[in-house]
Structures are given as C-alpha cells and as structure tokens.
Structure 1
Amino acid sequence: MRNDFIFSILKNRHNQLIELAAQCPEDKRNIVPEGFKNSLHWHIGHVLTVTEFHVFDLSEFELNQKLPASYQDFFAYGTKPADWQGEPPAWDVLIGQLRKQPDEIRELLEGKLDVPVKENFLKAETFGELIVSTVQHAAEHIGFVSAMLKALK
C-alpha cells in the first residue's frame, strides 16, 4: 500500500467534509432535520472522534490520542445530540482539529502502514487498513452531510 495514496485520501475526505460543513449557516448547525438522527455539528465531531478511535484505540498507539475523553460522550458510535449532557465542543474547535488530524496521523504513521495492529471489530490487520476503514467511514458521513444540507434549505 502506497503511503502517499493512503494519506492523501484521508486528507481529501477530511477536506471535503470541512468544505461541505462551511456551506451550513451557523444557525442551522445544531438542527436535526426531519428524517435524520443527528445534526451537522454531531457529524463533524463524530468523524473527528471516530477517526481517532479507529486509528489509535484499535492499535497500540492508544497513548497518542489528542482529543479529550469527553468527545466520546458527545460523538462516539451510538450517541446523538438529544442525549448530550452539557455543551459539546465548539464548532470552530472541531473544524480546526479535523483540519489538522490527517497531518498528525501521517506524522505518526508514515512508513508504518503495513505494521500489524491488534485484533479489532473492523477486522483490519494493519495501520493502512485502519486508515482505509476510517476513510470509508468519513465518506459515508459526507453523504449524510450533503443530504442534510439539502434538507436544511
């Protein structure tokens, strides 16, 4: 697996999500449109949080996590804004972290894509496979965000 390709698609999907998110007016970021379970704010935080979970929690690099543990309460699998206790991290903070995340992952894992990882629910065997799975996950949420932007008009 080529390093440049894998890290490029990770960065491209993050940038695509950021560009879509920028199209959402500030007053609609926390609205959950009819037919959806989550807000755009949740999707941004979820992709950020789950990317870190996929790459670090599912490998031996757990100590390299950069996000606060509280992000799991807001954005982990199975969460939704209706269940939030307190204020989630600010939109601009999440966007900034999402923008930096691909470069931080690349810095840590450059040249290590073929290194085996511990057994995990994704059935990924290497760091490269963990990153591919998170890119696929981000692409799914890009689709949700695109549909939500149409519903919010």
Structure 2
Amino acid sequence: MVNLIKQQFTRTREGVMKALEGVSPEMADVIPVGFNNHIRWQVGHVLYAGELYLFPGKGTLPAEYANFFDTGSKPREWKEGVPSLETLLAELKEQHVRIHDIPDEAFAEKLSKPLMELETFGEIAAMIADHEAMHLGQIQSLKRVVQARVSNPR
C-alpha cells in the first residue's frame, strides 16, 4: 500500500507540474467568473495541505502560508507577502522529495487520535493524495478557462 500512495503522489505531482507548463504568473492570478480562487491559490493550497497533514509540527513552510492557502482563504483578500508561483513550484518539488523520503513503516503508524475517521498515517497520506488529485482537476479547469479567455477576449 505504501508504494501505491507514493506512486499516486508522483503521478499527481507530475500532473500538476505538467498542467502548469505555459502558465504565466499573470494567468495564474486570474479568477474567472464562477470560481472562488485562481491557479496560484490552488498550487499553494496543495502545498499547504500536504505540509499540514504529512509533516505536522515539522513543516518547512512559513506560518503565514495558512493565511494565504488554508481552506476558506480567499485570494481577493490577499495583501502582500504572498509567495510567487515560481516559489510555490520550487516548494512543491522539494516537498515531493520529502514525501518519498517518509519511511515506509511510518504509513502503518496509528494516529494518537483519529482524524476524520482516519486512524493511521497511511490513511491520512492516501486522503491527501486524493485531495491533491482533486485540485489538479481544478488547476486544469482553471487553465482551460483562462486560456479561452485570453484566446477570445470580449
């Protein structure tokens, strides 16, 4: 099961990176009609959620990332200090290495208390892999909408 979870992270993270090819920083910050956020938020949210659940108390991200990328945060309310898309992509790559460095035996460890009915670290990791795949779909959708808007401005 551990190899499957790590393989899922690899497939999805590679999918995120591929989806972001050709996305300029300007495109990454467009919030299309009908969406609550943009591509940069999606990328930061995937990074932040991975850090929060896979490396609790040991994360390497700045504390203010919670203000920018936690569930319920809104890019329209951002002030300053938000990391660039380039920074987020570098952090995603670095985090992916750390995910693969998690010892296999850690996935079987029981949590001190269940989280959302999940009882082991492996179950948490599988949930986060699934979460990332869902956000990959959002990134792909946002990219298509933004590209269509650029191709056919009104």
Structure 1: gaps spanning 5 or more residues: none
TM-score by length of 1: 0.88
The match for 1:125 among 111, 116, 119 is 119
How many aligned residue pairs are there? 147
Residues 120/37 of structure 1: CA separation in 2 closer, same or farther (3 Å cut): farther
What percentage of aligned pairs have identical amino acids? Answer: 25
Unmatched 5+ stretches in structure 2: 148-154
Which residue number in structure 2 is paired with residue 25 of structure 1?
Answer: 24
What is the root-mean-square deviation in Å for CA atoms of aligned residues?
1.5
Q: Is the 8 A contact 1:48 1:94 kept in 2?
A: yes
Q: Which has the higher strand share?
A: 2
Larger Rg: 2
Greater mean deviation of Cα atoms: 118-127 or 70-79: 118-127
- Match of 1:53? 52
Could you list the structure 1 runs, at least 4 aligned residues long, displaced by more than 6 angstroms after superposition. Answer: none
Partner of 1:141: 135
Q: Counterpart in 1 of 2:60? A: 66
- Contact 1:47 1:138 (8 Å CA) reproduced: yes
TM-score (norm 2): 0.88
In structure 2, the CA distance between the partners of 1:103 and 1:122, relative to structure 1 (3 Å rule), is farther
CA distance, structure 2, for counterparts of residue 71 and residue 11 of structure 1: 23
